[in-house]
Structure 1
Amino acid sequence: MSTPEPYNATIVDWRDVNPAAAVFRVKLDSGAPPTFEPGQYATLGLPRDHPPVENPDEFAAGDPRWKKLCRREYSIASKPGGDTLEFYTVHVRDGKLTSKLWHDKSGGRVWVDPHIKGEFTLQRIPTGQNLVMIATGTGISPYLSMLRTYGGTGRWERFVIVHGVRTADDLGYDRQLRDIAEADSTFKYVPICSREPDAGPWGGLHGRVTDLLHPDRFESMLGVPFDAERCHVYLCGNPRMVDDSEALLQARGFVTHTRQQPGSIHFERYW
């Protein structure tokens, strides 16, 4: 019989982005999180019959309900070396894990797998490249970790984050990224909203991220050459966005990276 897993971390900070999205940080009981590469993910878990935070002792370590943890993978938004791990998530209606997280919020107890995993990193990318990081929704998380880790170090020539969302209140890191872009000439932030009314207060781009994957708009809006030899494109988020973007890029000469064939398209699908 396997040993039941106890809680091993606490939610120490919670910021509501909007009623259905939040940024939160967890601190492991053992101290600093394991070493990881920016772009990797951690697995969080809660028992399916998770107790409210005010009754944390309801489930003893040997309780059989620990054997069936509800687990979900979350890309890490923080940089390595800190004392917490940061995540950006949406509240999935009737979601088995997010509903429990929203119930507890700050102060809640969770289980974090100590083995951080994933290959959606910059390890295979040479220094000094143009990097275009395209995300929808919470798919921006791995790019935040990369930017927070390597920004200002000369790791790239240009680092562009394109963040596609429905409405402006879904832009969970908007102010932070605008501030970084003002201070760092190698970084550009391009938010784009698909459901903001043209006559509304949103003064940014309207449409979908795929609208920018055409040579004229790509170079003028993103500030980097639309050239597979000089640019790597990362895709993270909605699977349909990933598929559509991959097809548009391949039509322009970009090649999808695999273990057998190096290329300049890299992707990670969410849900």
Structure 2
Amino acid sequence: MSNWIEANVKDIVWWTDTLFSLIVNADVAPFKAGQFTKLSIMMDEKRIARAYSYVNSPSSSDLEFYLINVADGLLSPRLAKLKPGDTVMIESRASGFFTLDEVPASEQLFMLSTGTAIGPFLSILEQGDVWQQFSEIVLVHGVRLNADLSYQQRITQLQQTYPRLQYLPVVSREQPKAGLSGRITTHIADQSLFRYCKLTPSPSTTQFMICGNPEMVKETSEILTTAGYSRNRRREPGQITVEQYW
């Protein structure tokens, strides 16, 4: 049963003409970094709700969500019109298993994301507990355009706090200002992603968390499975933990 409460809009940050972050305050139940909740509005006495991952660490009082304004969407265009002082409904209890306690400890962790799916990884990194499980972490963000690489300031701050954090943008539709050109899947298949990071992964030393476009999640999982990695399950720990993002 859903438990909807009111959230007050604190701020909206626009990154591009379609990408924005919604920051709200609400008395939600405690959640784990990597989990998601739902935002909703009422329309003609019908609730329109969608799931969004927390971008903020669980200790932050500002609740942050990273969204794409889908032109013909039912909810995102209405969320995009919110102003500070407005209210939106939020589900007080979080959900999801894309969390550190579901991932076995190892030496290396590759966080592979596309688009707005970088959000849960930022939450995990902001919380900082991840460094008790891994000594090398690579945050990979696949986007179409350089302008879609949001949260640069926050990522830089994280790298200053945690010097072992590598950040790798992968830009598919124009020449990247930094990082690699093309698609994450291609660079994993031909190992160029690992060469770029100067890391040599193996099933005994490496974990992969994959979040984003379902096609990317599926294709990357297949490439890694062929290379000897396996899906991480509670009864049978592996090296691949995934979350579909829509």
Q: What's the TM-score once normalised by structure 2's chain length? A: 0.92
Gaps of 5+ in 2: none
Say if 2:89 is the partner of 1:94. Answer: no
8 Å contact 2:21–2:67 — kept in the other structure? yes
Kindly report which structure 2 residues correspond to 1:57-136, keeping only aligned pairs within 5 A, or say none.
Answer: 65=45, 68-127=46-105, 129-136=107-114
- The match for 2:6 among 1, 5, 8 is 8
| Paired residues, number | 246
Across the aligned residues of Structure 1 and Structure 2, the Cα RMSD in angstroms comes to: 2.2
Distance, in Å, in 1 between the alignment partners of 2:47 and 2:130 is: 40
Deviations 1:107-158 (A, max 9, x none): 3211111111110001033445311000000010110001000168544211
Distance, in Å, in 2 between the alignment partners of 1:128 and 1:267 is: 17
Q: 1:223 to 1:48 in 2, by over 3 A?
A: farther
Distance, in Å, in 2 between the alignment partners of 1:152 and 1:269 is: 21
8 Å contact 2:231–2:240 — kept in the other structure? yes
8 Å contact 2:170–2:184 — kept in the other structure? yes
Q: 1:182 to 1:115 in 2, by over 3 A?
A: closer
Larger radius of gyration: 1
Q: Match for residue 20 of structure 2?
A: 22
Q: 1:224 to 1:215 in 2, by over 3 A?
A: farther
Aligned residue type for 1:20: T
8 Å contact 1:128–1:154 — kept in the other structure? no
Aligned residue type for 2:75: L
Q: Match for residue 46 of structure 1?
A: 41
Gaps of 5+ in 1: 50-64
Q: Match for residue 193 of structure 2?
A: 218
Q: Match for residue 230 of structure 2?
A: 255
- The match for 1:167 among 145, 153, 156 is 145
Distance, in Å, in 2 between the alignment partners of 1:260 and 1:6 is: 33
SS of the residue 2:102 aligns to: coil
Q: 1:210 to 1:152 in 2, by over 3 A?
A: closer
Kindly report which structure 2 residues correspond to 1:227-238, keeping only aligned pairs within 5 A, or say none.
Answer: 227-238=202-213
Identity %: 30
Q: What's the TM-score once normalised by structure 1's chain length? A: 0.84
